[in-house]
Amino acid sequence: MTRFRNLIAISILALLPALAHADSFTYNVNDSFANFNVTGIIMTDKDSGTLATNDISMYDIFLSDGSRTLTLTQINSQDLVVGNALTATSAGLFFNFNSGGLLAFETPFIGSGTNYLCYQGRGGGCDDFNNAHESIDLGRDGQTGQQLSGNRQIASSTAVTPEPESLVLFGTGILGLAGVARRKLVG
């Protein structure tokens, strides 16, 4: 009986990584304002709580101001999170525009002065706008921005919740394996 319990314990330990959450969480960005559009994805390594720069694991963001376009990725740009304005939930990414924080994606590097997407709280820091806003700058055309306030969802989650039937099937499979292992140990 002890061998059977040990086998079950080892099996459960071996399966824990497969049962754990994924290492990254994908969020869809889809903002459309009068003067510009922002679409794409942002991936994070956390799906809850306050996010920092190192929590953004990947991004692919397309910017358009009607005459120019730009795609920001980790290959051609940098990202920066300042303060605690950026938070993740199972529903999406949220930015608190009433805070003093900011979230920026800029090519070729943060601080180069052009080619960026910025979510800026009341504290400033991205561009010439002094108020809380989302803005882009493409090819030194000047900033285009949209004033915003409050804690707003800037990206929606793409997480898929497992169906109950899948979980039941997985559980019965584990029980079946345990039964086969028990028969081999006993018989």
Better pLDDT: 9 or 32 = 32
Provide the token pair at 81: 């999170």
pLDDT at 143: 86
pTM of the model: 0.74
pLDDT at 17: 46
Cis ω on the peptide bond leading into residue 108 (within 30° of 0)? Answer: yes
Q: Where do we find the tokens 């101001």?
A: 65
pLDDT at 160: 56
The pLDDT tens digits for 100-132 are 899 999 999 999 988 999 999 987 788 877 789
Q: Distance of CA 14 to CAs 6, 22, 68, 96, 129, Å? A: 12, 16, 51, 41, 53
pLDDT range class, residue 18, cuts 50, 70, 90: very low
At a CB cut-off of 8 Å and minimum separation 6, what does 35 contact? 65, 66, 144, 146
**Could you give the CA distance from residue 150 to residue 152 in angstroms, rounded to a whole number?**
6
pLDDT at 158: 85
